[in-house]
């Protein structure tokens, strides 16, 4: 059982001297509460004793040295946009917020990289890269709210994964602070190496349990050529999912292939005050973004993709003829969770299931069957081109929020077991946090768990970095 130190006045004074004015919050309960929960919901939250807001790597290092000396637990935090309680300070102690470390330090066109601090909002990096003629392609759908550091921590993905891959593919280097306070440099401005164990790749997706990233070197892609967005309307899901593998395997340059079901579109368009074409008839939609090197090639590509969709049961395929048309359809997709939560503030978006593309039709059938069995209405969105499915169930009328928090996670546990049976995993991008902890530990073999816990012991022997997350319940290492 881990025994942690408490923050005394002396320790708080020591932290304050390191961080300077405004660098620490200890006595404002309302402010502290803002850092006690993430988008998993307040019911999963836990109050910190203090919040520290360092402005540079040296201050992060100093905080960790103090925390290590007195064995104070530290929970790193980005934007708090996570959905599985990864930024919740389960053991109390210190929340280390990276919000002040928000500078884009460099756009390097020669090496085709950007160097950023972890508190940079993802969309700010996307805009800065675009101004220099590049694309940052590793972003999730929460591009307007998430931080680059949070994307690093969860290996976030998004609508362009089918073409460009997830965050892991786009992190080339990192400066990180260990639990001891030591600073190390990993990777660099190069794209391959065979130079020992790749610690950088181990840290990507580790949810702040092994180290804290304080500077990241990210890959930039050339801007895509000419693109167009298609909106394919289907009477139901069965026909729709048959299209996906044919679209992806068409040989055309597919940048995105996204799915929205009827319920999600209905509630999200009500929330946004808009409508999609054929909304009353459609049981589901595909948004497909196609790239071409010329107008002629682009037209040939989207006609081919449109015909594939029609041959697989789509009753209409619309081609966005302007940026306004494209923005309208993507706005519904990007605001899907918000739309469902406008219908029900307790709508649960914590679960994202990952299965092989070939298993998507069966997984969607199992999700719908489970929804009926559990008596749940839901909406579904998906990065369907790479097999990442997001069911969003709504709290049944009359169920208390406390009961719903447990019931919804039991429902996701049932779905995750089905995803694993189909050769998948319990999350493609949302991560584990502490909400999904009991599920992931059931899915791993004893031998693998021992290896994972050994890694944690090596990086963090005092178990002070984000304790109680992923494979490590509080007091169990």
Each residue of 366-408: pLDDT tens digit?
A: 999 999 999 999 999 999 999 999 999 999 999 999 999 999 9
Residue 408 lies in a domain: yes
Q: Token match 């995993």: residue?
A: 425
**Whether residue 298 sits in one domain with residue 202:** no
For residues 111 and 209, state if they share a domain.
yes
Q: Is 268 found in the same domain as 239?
A: yes
- Indicate the pTM of the whole model: 0.92
Residue 473 lies in a domain: no
Number of domains comprising the chain:
4
CATH number at residue 383: 3.30.70.2740
Task: Give the pLDDT confidence of 342-353 residue by residue, as tens digits.
Answer: 999 999 888 899
**Looking at the structure, do residues 296 and 328 belong to the same domain, yes or no?**
yes
> 56-59 long-range contacts, Cβ below 8 Å, gap at least 24?
56/101, 56/214, 57/175, 57/177, 57/183, 57/214, 57/215, 59/18, 59/19, 59/23
Interval 431-463: pLDDT, tens? 888 888 888 888 899 999 999 999 999 999 999
Let me know if residue 377 belongs to a domain: yes
Q: Are residues 119 and 141 in the same domain?
A: yes
* Within a domain: 472: no
The answer as to whether 439 is a domain residue is no
Where in the sequence is the domain holding 171, given as residue range(s)? Answer: 104-222
Same domain, residue pair 43 and 125: no
Q: What is the CATH number of the domain that holds 15?
A: 3.30.43.10
Query: Tens digits of per-residue pLDDT, 118-171?
Result: 999 999 999 999 999 999 988 777 677 799 999 999 998 878 888 888 999 999
Final residue in a domain of this structure, among 337, 361, 380: 337
Residue 147, domain CATH: 3.30.465.10
Asked if residue 247 belongs to a domain, the reply is yes
Residues 6 or more apart whose Cβ sits within 8 Å of residue 193:
187
Asked if 409 and 416 count as a contact pair (C-beta separation under 8 A), the reply is no
Angle formed at CA 208 by CA 61 and CA 426, multiple of 5 degrees? 175
Average pLDDT over residues 44-72: 96
Give 280-333 pLDDT, tens digit per residue.
Answer: 999 999 999 999 988 999 999 999 999 999 999 999 999 998 888 899 999 999
Q: pLDDT tens digits, residue range 9-35?
A: 999 999 999 999 989 999 999 999 999
- The answer on 172 and 124 residing in a single domain is yes
Any domain includes 460: no
């Amino acid at each position: 059982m881990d025994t942690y130190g408490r923050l005394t006045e002396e320790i708080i004074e020591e932290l304050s001297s390191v961080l300077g004015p405004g660098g620490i919050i200890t006595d404002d309960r309302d402010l502290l509460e803002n850092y006690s929960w993430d988008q998993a919901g307040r019911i999963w939250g836990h109050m910190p004793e203090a919040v520290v807001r360092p402005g540079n790597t040296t201050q992060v290092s100093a905080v960790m040295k103090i925390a290590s000396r007195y064995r104070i637990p530290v929970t790193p935090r980005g934007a708090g946009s996570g959905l599985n309680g990864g930024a919740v300070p389960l053991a109390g102690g210190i929340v280390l917020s990276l919000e002040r470390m928000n500078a884009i330090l460099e756009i390097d066109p020669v090496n085709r990289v950007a160097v950023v601090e972890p508190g940079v909002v993802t969309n700010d990096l996307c805009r800065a890269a675009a101004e220099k003629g590049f694309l940052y392609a590793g972003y999730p759908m929460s591009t307007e709210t998430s931080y680059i550091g949070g994307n690093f921590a969860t290996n976030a993905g998004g609508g362009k994964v089918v073409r460009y891959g997830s965050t892991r593919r786009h992190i080339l280097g990192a400066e990180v602070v260990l639990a001891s306070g030591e600073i190390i440099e990993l990777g660099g401005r190069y794209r391959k190496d065979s130079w020992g164990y790749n610690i950088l790749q181990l840290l990507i997706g580790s949810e702040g349990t092994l180290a804290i990233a304080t500077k990241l070197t990210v890959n930039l892609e050339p801007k895509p050529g000419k693109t167009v967005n298609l909106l394919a309307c289907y009477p139901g899901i069965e026909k729709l999912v048959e299209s996906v593998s044919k679209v992806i395997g068409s040989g055309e340059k597919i940048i995105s292939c996204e799915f929205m079901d009827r319920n999600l579109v209905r509630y999200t368009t009500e929330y946004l005050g808009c409508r999609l074409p054929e909304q009353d008839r459609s049981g589901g939609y595909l948004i497909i973004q196609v790239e071409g090197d010329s107008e002629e090639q682009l037209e040939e590509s989207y006609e081919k993709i449109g015909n594939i969709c029609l041959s697989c049961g789509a009753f209409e395929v619309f081609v966005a003829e302007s940026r306004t048309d494209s923005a309208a359809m993507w706005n519904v997709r990007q605001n899907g969770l918000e739309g469902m939560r406008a219908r029900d503030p307790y709508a649960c978006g914590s679960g994202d299931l990952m299965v092989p593309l070939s298993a998507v039709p069966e997984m969607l059938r199992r999700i719908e069957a489970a929804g009926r069995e559990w008596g749940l209405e839901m909406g579904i969105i998906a990065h369907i081109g790479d097999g990442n499915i997001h069911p969003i169930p709504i709290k049944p009328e009359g169920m208390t929020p406390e009961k719903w928090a447990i019931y919804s996670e039991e429902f996701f546990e049932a779905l995750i077991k089905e995803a694993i049976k189909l050769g998948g995993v319990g999350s493609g991008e949302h991560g584990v946090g502490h909400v999904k902890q009991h599920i992931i530990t059931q899915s791993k073999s004893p031998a693998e768990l021992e290896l994972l816990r050994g890694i944690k012991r090596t990086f963090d022997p005092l178990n002070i970095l984000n304790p109680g997350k992923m494979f490590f319940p509080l007091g169990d290492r």
